[in-house]
Amino acid sequence: MALPKGLSSVLAKSPSDTVILSSLRTPICRSYRGQLKDAYPEELLSVVLRATLDANPNLPPEAINDVAVGVVLSELGGSKAARMAMNHVGFPHSTSLYTVNRACSSSLQSIATIAAQIRGEMIGVGIAAGMESMTRNYGSKAIPVDLWPELRESPVKDARDCIMPMGLTSENVAQRYKVGRKEQDEFAVESHRRAARAQTEGYFNDEIVPVRTRFQEVDKQGNKIGEEKQIEVTKDDGIRANATFEALAKLKPAFKEDGASTAGNSSQVSDGAAATLLMKRSTATELGLTSSIIGKFVAATTVGCAPDEMGIGPALAIPKLLNQLGVEAKDVNRWEINEAFASQAIYCVRELGLEKDWEQGKVNPDGGAIALGHPLGATGARMTATLIHGLRRSGGEVGVVSMCVGTGMGMAGLFVRE
């Protein structure tokens, strides 16, 4: 099916549109110390899948044909645990499931893939989700342990650079494109300020699903303090409302002795899950669910770039997407650009000519991954939930989600609010 061309075509409603009926997420919490540290990724997935059913009570569970789950770090690609979680919370075994791994864009990829299945009439209704527990599964820092030795010593630099630590790619972007430490710290403080305001104002309430789970308090050495508790987690716990430039400026570089990327101006290692329900508009009409439509997925695209500066991905993916759709940057009301590192987020905002949009609060208006966290497999779906609900609050129509992707890629998706 041909993509719509031009803003009016993007905004026009058609029975063949891929529409969104719900887009939900768990709180995003700090790995190792946050409130979801003792939860399993598939446990978090089960929460958002069950919440999707509950949010759409007039949709029979058996009408959902397939579920795609973005996940990066889980054992066996997360496929068995995810399928078990889906069955556990009330889906019939006739609903199928698979997992998707495109690193940081895995759950945006799951949205694009479910949409493609719907458009190709492989399925009628699908859920695109993502899950990650970096607490449980980040031991190797997302670098393969058992790797063909010839690749580590490959004469091809781009091959070797695919396992370059992400922090060093951030330093490359900062050095090559002249993004200084001061502006990185200022950007990080602003991310926390925006996220703290959004949390205080209740902006995340409609997208967050509470999680009831276990929590065992531990000291810095990992020793247990007291008894394990049952808790209900209702909000993101990585936001630092009191973050200041002076405090961030004192932090030492985290990846390179003379570098500029620190724990304070990089995305947080996080735990969380998210899920988005999609179907064709004509299917929603047939099922009597038209009034439940909250948005539509229009298109997505991916690009490749040098692995040693993977952070520039959005600056390449976004123009490609807009060009494919015949849409201009000025037509976009809200941008969600993942803050893997302040260095690359700043570069992308500059390269895309979005400095004024950033200042006016059209880019990451409610903060980004520096404040909210980056649970790898769930980030794309989390950003989509924040985008759709944010557009509904502001009255904006067009939004873009984009992120850089480890090993040298970028991905971007365009959505419309209804």
Per-residue pLDDT, 1? 74
- Give the mean model confidence (pLDDT) for residues 129-143: 94
Q: What is the mean pLDDT of the chain?
A: 97
The whole model's pTM is what?
A: 0.97
Q: Which of 23, 49, 55, 103 is nearest to 297 (CA)?
A: 23
* Calpha distance 26→273 (Å, rounded): 6
Per-residue pLDDT, 397? 98
* Calpha distance 188→364 (Å, rounded): 12
In tens, the pLDDT along 266-289 reads 999 999 999 999 999 999 999 999
pLDDT band at 222 (very low <50, low <70, confident <90, very high): confident
The set of catalytic residues is 104, 374, 404
Q: How distant, in Å, are the alpha carbons of 124, 125, 314 from that of 191?
A: 38, 35, 18
Contacts of 131 (CB under 8 A, 6+ apart): 41, 42, 44, 45, 69, 70, 71, 74, 78, 82, 272, 273, 375, 377, 378
* Calpha distance 198→202 (Å, rounded): 6
What are φ and ψ of residue 331, in 5° steps? -80, -10
In tens, the pLDDT along 74-107 reads 999 999 999 999 999 999 999 999 999 999 999 9
pLDDT band at 141 (very low <50, low <70, confident <90, very high): confident
* Strand residue runs (E) in 145-288: 211-215, 229-233, 270-280
- Give the mean model confidence (pLDDT) for residues 49-66: 97
Task: Evaluate if residue 167 carries a pLDDT over 90.
Answer: yes
Residue 70 contacts residue 99 (beta carbons within 8 Å): yes
Per-residue pLDDT, 410? 98
Task: Evaluate if residue 164 carries a pLDDT over 90.
Answer: yes
Task: Evaluate if residue 259 carries a pLDDT over 80.
Answer: yes
Q: Between 219 and 110, name the one with better pLDDT.
A: 110
Per-residue pLDDT, 260? 97
- Give the mean model confidence (pLDDT) for residues 397-415: 98
- Give the mean model confidence (pLDDT) for residues 350-359: 98
In tens, the pLDDT along 238-258 reads 999 999 999 999 999 999 999
Task: Evaluate if residue 405 carries a pLDDT over 90.
Answer: yes
* Calpha distance 303→29 (Å, rounded): 30
